Amino acid sequence: MNVVLYFQSSAKINAAEKLAGVQEVADKLGWLVQPVDGIPSAKQLRMLLDFWEPIGVIVECGGTAATVEAAAFGSLPMVFFDHDPSCLPKKAFCVTHDSAATGRMAARELMMGGITEFAFVPYPERRFWSDERERGFSTAVRLNGYSCKVFGERYSSADPTHHQRKLREFLTGLKKPCALFAANDKIAKDVLTAAALIGIPVPEALSVIGVDNAEEICERTNPSLTSVKPDFTEGGRLAALFLDAQLKNGAGYAGPHRRTFGPLHVVHRASTRRVVAHDRPVLEALELIRHEACRGISAAEVLKRFPCARRQAEIRFRRATGRSVLEEIIAVRIERAKQLLENSSMPIKNIADFCGCANPNSLRKQFRKLVDCSMSAWRNRARQKA
């Protein structure tokens, strides 16, 4: 069997989704994908290549500064995944996330909240993806007539306390309310920590959004963190397709040598729910729905959590969100159905079980009503786009 080595970054953020995209293409082409953790030394690399005798390799950097010399692979077809293109040979095949598009998506999301003050906190060490996110975000903000404050303090990773201290000073000096975009979820978590320690309420005075949708971070911050989710699975597909193009065409390949994959969507959580921040029971109800809608929670169960009569609770919820509790539950289930339709081959009749719907026909009707097309049509459209 033809073996493809997949050198996997030690940064494990969404590693499974990236590898799933590679594996999806590999399954169709009859490849065996062999993951290798970390960037190996030159000696280890030679031993691995001799052992596996691969037809090609994919080297995934994961957004770190680590890299590997293309020359170490000789003439073996290879694709760099999430590497800084400026560090690679001119003709190297490279797939990267469109971080500028992610910055623009974050700007749109935050501007819709009605805030007119904006800020960006970059990754503390120089990274190309952080610079691109800053550029996309600040350009979009200024295009709409606003200014963007950028946290300029960079530090050695050995001194995180200095960074946290400077971050608190930066947040204190921002005009409030302010909408802040952080380079990734880890930096957004640092922002939330700093805000809590100096008494800046989130999201009332500071709305915060990160990148990666790393659930181990986003679900454990207080409040939970809104995040832009990149389409990592599509990135994996593109990397595998790039490798296939080299294998099929060799030196005769005349297409592009760099491809990008964009952001998928914004995963909404409490850190940007400013519209309902004044009504904590509504905010808590939204968090409950987000967690439990796809586990079958009912509107009645949500409304029981309010410290008032059911009728009054419904009025408060609709006034704050523009939807009834049931409408919010259905909306969360439909978003989950979209994700499953786009990113899995699960039969449509089984998707209802993963969306909290006991009746598949009920989900189909709700989907058509809200999305204005059938579930099968949505899946076909998503596959054509991919």
| Domain(s) of CATH 3.40.50.2300: residues in the chain | 2-97+231-265, 99-229+267-274
- Quote the CA–CA distance of 280 and 30 in Å, as a whole number: 53
The per-residue b/e assignment along 205-221, b for 16 or more CB within 10 angstroms, e otherwise, is bbbbbbbbbbeebbeeb
CATH T-level fold of 2-97+231-265? Rossmann fold (3.40.50)
Name the CATH superfamily for 99-229+267-274: Response regulator (3.40.50.2300)
For residue 205, the 8-state DSSP code is T
| Domain(s) of CATH 1.10.10.60: residues in the chain | 279-385
Overall CATH class of domain 279-385: mainly alpha
For 97, the 3-state DSSP assignment is strand
- Pair of tokens at residue 310: 């059911």
Question: Comparing C-alpha atoms, which of 357, 347, 367 is closest to residue 294?
Answer: 357
Residue by residue, pLDDT tens for the chain (386 residues) are 899 999 987 666 788 889 999 999 999 999 999 999 877 788 888 999 999 999 999 998 765 555 667 778 888 999 999 888 888 888 889 999 999 999 999 999 999 888 999 999 999 888 899 999 999 999 999 999 999 999 987 655 557 788 899 999 999 999 999 999 999 999 999 999 999 999 999 998 999 999 999 989 998 998 999 999 999 999 999 999 999 999 998 878 888 899 999 998 898 898 998 655 567 788 888 889 988 999 999 999 999 999 999 999 999 888 777 789 999 999 999 989 988 898 788 898 899 999 999 889 999 999 998 888 899 988 888 777 65
pTM across the whole model: 0.79
- Quote the CA–CA distance of 166 and 154 in Å, as a whole number: 9
Do 306 and 286 form a contact (C-beta atoms < 8 A)? no
